[in-house]
Structure 1
C-alpha cells in the first residue's frame, strides 16, 4: 500500500511556506537520521524517496553529508540542486562537480556512486520527469532565479 502522505507532501511542496520552513525541516531530518541510524528520515516518513549523500568537500577534502529527496530513475538516483529556492546552488553540487565520486546511504545501507550533471536535451527531458515527480521544483526554480542543476548518480560496481 502506498503512503497517502506522499500526495499531500507533493502538494505541500508547491507552497512557498515550505521553503520558509526549510531550516526546521533540515534540522528535524538530521535529528531523525542521527537517532535512527539513517533508517528514518522526514522525507521518508512522508512517503517520498530520500537518501543521504556524502561528497568530498572540494576545498577541505573532508566528507560532507546531507539528506536529500531523490527521484528514482531505474537503478539510478536523480538529484536536483534546488537549495529550497535560494539563489545559490547547494554546496553538494559544487563538491560533485569537483569530484563525482560519492556515497549514498538508503535506509542505513551505503553504496558508492558516480555523478554526472545533465545538460541540453537530456536535462530538458529529465526536467519534465522531475516536475511530474516533484511539482515544487518549478516554484523553487522561479524563486532561485536560476536553472536548477540536475545530477544522475549511478552505482559503482565493486
Structure 2
C-alpha cells in the first residue's frame, strides 16, 4: 500500500497542488512549478508542497523564502533533517537529494532565482533571516 501524502496546510498552496495534479503539472502555464514531497522531521509523514524552481544544468534550484517570513519553511527544515525527497515536474515524478547552496554558490543561484521570480528580492528585504537557496539533484 502506498503511504499517504499530506498536502500543505496553507489553503492557497493546497489548492495549487490540486490544480497541478489535475492539469498534469500545468496549473500555471509559463511558470516553473514543481511539487516537492519531503519526510516530516517531527511527524515522519510525507509532506507535499508546491514551489517555483529554476534549472541549473541538470540540477533544480529552490528558494526557502517562506514569503519573507522570519522562519524557515517546514519543507526546508524537513530537507535539512532528511535530504531525500521526491519531485514532480509535469507528469514526471523522480527521487532527489537536496542540499543548501554553499556561500560560494549562493550569489549566482540567488540571481538565477530572482530572474525567475522577482518577488524573492522583496522577500529578502522583509526578513532578517538569511533565505536559503536549495540545490536539488536527481538520484540514480
TM-score by length of structure 2 reads 0.84
Does 2:123 correspond to 1:136? no
The 4+ residue runs of structure 1 with deviation greater than 3 A are: none
More strand by share: 2
CA contact (8 A) 2:62 2:113 kept: no
- Rate the CA distance shift 1:30–1:132 in 2: closer, same or farther, 3 A: closer
- RMSD across aligned positions (CA): 1.8
Aligned counterpart for 2:56 among listed residues 73, 76, 100: 73
Q: Which residue of 1 aligns with 2:81?
A: 98
Tell whether 2:23 aligns with 1:40.
no
- Take 1:133 and 1:108, find their aligned partners in 2: how far apart are those partners? 21
**Mind listing any 5+ residue stretches in structure 2 that lack a counterpart?**
1-9
Looking at structure 2, the residues matched to 38 and 153 of structure 1 have their Cα atoms a distance apart, in angstroms, of 21
Give CA-to-partner distance per residue, 1:74-127, whole Å, 9 cap, x none: 111101001112111110000000000000011122110000111211112211
From the superposition, tell whether residues 64 and 129 of structure 1 become closer, same or farther in structure 2 (CA, over 3 Å). Answer: same
Aligned length: 131
Q: Please name the residue that 2:17 is paired with.
A: 30
Alpha-carbon offset, residue 72 of structure 1? 1.4
Deviation of the 1:25 alpha carbon? 4.2
State which structure, 1 or 2, has the greater radius of gyration over its C-alpha atoms: 1
Deviation at 1:132, TM superposition (A): 2.3
| TM-score, reference length from structure 1 | 0.75
If each structure's helix is expressed as a fraction of its own residues, which one has the higher value? Answer: 1
